[in-house]
Amino acid sequence: MKDYPLWGIKEVFFKKNHIFCYFYNGKNLKSPIFEHKNDVMMKLIADAGSTKTAWGCIAANAPVEPFETDGINPVRDSSATIAHILHQVKQHLLQSDVTEVDFYGAGCIAPYSDAVATALRDVFPAADIHVESDLFGAARALCGHEEGIACILGTGSNSCYYDGEHIVDNVSPLGWILGDEGSGAVLGRLLVGDVLKRQLPPSLCTAFFDQFQLSQSDIIAAVYRSPQPNRFLASLVPFIAVHASEPAIHDLLLREFRRFFTRNVAAYGRPDLPVHFVGGVAAHFSKALSEAADYEGFKLGKIERSPLSKMMAFHAG
């Protein structure tokens, strides 16, 4: 017990977002002096990928700008690594009282999501913790409480049929070797394959080698011997963006985006629903994506580069 003689206060303690102050009378009976509510209450929203995690805060009386940390993926990262990143988040927020954490992340499926939930509870013990997949976060960001098809087109790709509350159906993306149609990794794979097999005009092949300064052996080593070849392949997509108006590159984009619709979206059997997208590839190539949707008879909906702001709006509502 700590003594506060000027006020006659004998005890102060904190519980969640309240401060309680008490004094003791001559019979040692405890009576309240005042109860103060700390208004710095905060919901913390996370959009976590393997490379970076974007954090947003909902706090009416203490606005905090969105910020980023290293990526969190429980399939890849140890519990110690996850805890280290979360302690950085806590330090960034200073004295804010985090009452709820809604964490959406790559790899956050059972049983791997348990590691993230445990680490969050350790760092934010007074908060309600919710851990979900990045696809569920995309669905909430893009569709809100309405029915729709939600898709991710970034380094990888994914999609689902969302009924306004839950993911009802999901065609497995299968990764960049077996699937991930329309993703940055697959677009990069198609590009480099066409360059090395001389399927593109000579001017484009020359421009590719001039830009990246890679030999065929360098490319083979990066694809077959590096630990993350999907990232290497996705790093080639800026070349596609620069030359997107070239007929050969436009055809590459259109073919692959049409494959995304036929091999993923069509399987849900709901051509009546809007098809929404989140991710850098979708945002960069929205024109070709819209053209592919028209070819395959689908209605293109929203396209967002990042889902964080829409996630925050969902949880603020």
Q: Looking at domain 148-306, does it have CATH number 2.60.120.10?
A: no
Where do the structural domains in the chain lie, given as residue ranges?
A: 1-38, 41-126, 148-306
Residue whose pair of structure tokens reads 């997949």 in the numeric block: 133
Q: Are 62 and 7 in contact (CB under 8 A)?
A: no
18-43 pLDDT, tens digit per residue, is 433 333 344 444 444 334 344 457 89
Q: Mean per-residue pLDDT for 175-186? A: 91
Give strand ranges (E) for 106-211.
128-133, 148-153, 157-162, 167-169
Q: Are 218 and 250 in contact (CB under 8 A)?
A: no
Q: Mean per-residue pLDDT for 237-254? A: 96
Q: Mean per-residue pLDDT for 92-98? A: 78
Whether 41-126 and 148-306 share one fold: the answer is yes
Residue 12: pLDDT band by 50, 70, 90 thresholds?
very low
Distance CA 279, CA 189 (A): 18
Superfamily the domain 41-126 falls into: ATPase, nucleotide binding domain (3.30.420.40)
